[in-house]
């Protein structure tokens, strides 16, 4: 049964994207498909995500990128959230800015203002063209997420050199079976993070034990 759901953002995650590799190489992972990747509609995208959550193993981990992070946020007050074990939220997009070019994305803003009822980690970049780092910090605070600062990593996508990215799977694994804000303690995620050079990245803990 599916244990990890890969949740892309606007325009999906094409071949070569780390989400694409993960979904195709991990038998326990599945990419949540949307009918129209170019015209995001919150109700349609939520229905697609919730259908896959219902068909997955209890405690499924969501791995979202860009606008997919706001989509996961929109689950917070819906019954399907009780079936989610945690979320890895990578390079969240600034919905207010995205709405200028994609008006239908405006409804996703509801997903940026609610505390998540499951454990979560935000991975952000210092030079992400789709969200300033300070805004990512704000989002992490609202969601109740631990925050990992990858330094200058762009939008953490193909354009910034993120093809296969095994570190994401390690972080996601550390979320399994943990309630929101529960301390993970010694874990693969923590051991991995302690090996990262402090000049290039840092982490903020909210009880997830990643630092």
Tokens of 92: 């969240």
Rounded CA-CA distance 144/80 in Å is: 19
β-pairing verdict for 84-90 and 146-149: unpaired
Domains of the chain: 4-204 (3.40.50.1820)
pLDDT digits (tens, 9 = 90+) for 69-97: 999 999 998 999 999 999 999 999 999 99
3-state secondary structure of 95: helix
Containing 5, the helix (H) or strand (E) segment is strand 4-7
Tell me the average pLDDT of the chain: 89
- The pLDDT of 111-137, averaged and rounded, is 96
pLDDT of residue 177: 73
Distances (CA, A) of 170 to 72, 131, 208: 20, 24, 14
Residue 127 contacts residue 166 (beta carbons within 8 Å): no
Rounded CA-CA distance 138/145 in Å is: 10
Using the predicted structure, report yes or no on whether residue 175 has a pLDDT greater than 50.
yes
- The pLDDT of 151-177, averaged and rounded, is 94
pLDDT digits (tens, 9 = 90+) for 16-52: 999 999 999 999 999 999 999 999 999 999 999 999 9
Residue 147 contacts residue 162 (beta carbons within 8 Å): no
pLDDT of residue 180: 64
Rounded CA-CA distance 123/156 in Å is: 9
Residue 5 contacts residue 52 (beta carbons within 8 Å): yes
pLDDT of residue 171: 95
pLDDT of residue 77: 87
Residue 58 contacts residue 144 (beta carbons within 8 Å): no
pLDDT of residue 207: 53
Share of residues in the chain with pLDDT > 90 (%): 82
Nearest to 83 by CA among 125, 134, 117, 126: 117
Q: Please report which confidence band the pLDDT of residue 168 belongs to, taking 50, 70 and 90 as the band edges.
A: very high
Q: Please report which confidence band the pLDDT of residue 204 belongs to, taking 50, 70 and 90 as the band edges.
A: low
Rounded CA-CA distance 125/159 in Å is: 13
Task: Give the CA radius of gyration of the chain.
Answer: 15
pLDDT of residue 45: 98
Q: Say what the pTM is.
A: 0.88
pLDDT of residue 37: 96
Three-state SS letters, 11-73: CCCCCCCHHHHHHHHCCCEEECCCCCCCCCCHHHHHHHHHHHHHCCCCCEEEEEECHHHHHHH
pLDDT of residue 208: 58
pLDDT of residue 69: 98
């Amino acid at each position: 049964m599916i244990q990890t759901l890969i949740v892309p953002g606007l325009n999906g995650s094409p071949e070569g994207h780390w989400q694409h590799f993960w979904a195709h190489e991990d038998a326990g992972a599945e990419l949540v498909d949307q009918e129209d990747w170019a015209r995001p509609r919150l109700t349609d995208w939520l229905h697609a995500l919730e259908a896959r959550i219902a068909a997955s193993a209890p405690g499924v981990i969501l791995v979202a990128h860009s606008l997919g992070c706001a989509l996961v946020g929109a689950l917070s007050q819906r019954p399907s959230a009780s079936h989610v074990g945690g979320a890895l939220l990578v390079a969240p997009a600034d919905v207010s800015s995205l709405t200028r070019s994609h008006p239908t994305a405006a409804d996703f803003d509801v997903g940026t203002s609610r505390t998540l009822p499951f454990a979560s980690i935000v991975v952000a970049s210092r030079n992400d063209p789709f969200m300033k780092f300070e805004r990512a910090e704000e989002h992490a605070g609202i969601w109740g997420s631990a925050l990992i600062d990858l330094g200058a990593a762009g939008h953490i996508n193909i354009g910034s050199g993120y093809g296969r990215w095994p570190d994401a799977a390690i972080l996601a694994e550390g979320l399994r079976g943990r309630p929101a804000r529960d301390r993970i303690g010694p874990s693969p995620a923590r051991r991995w993070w302690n090996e990262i050079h402090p000049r290039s990245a840092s982490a903020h803990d909210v009880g997830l034990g990643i630092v």
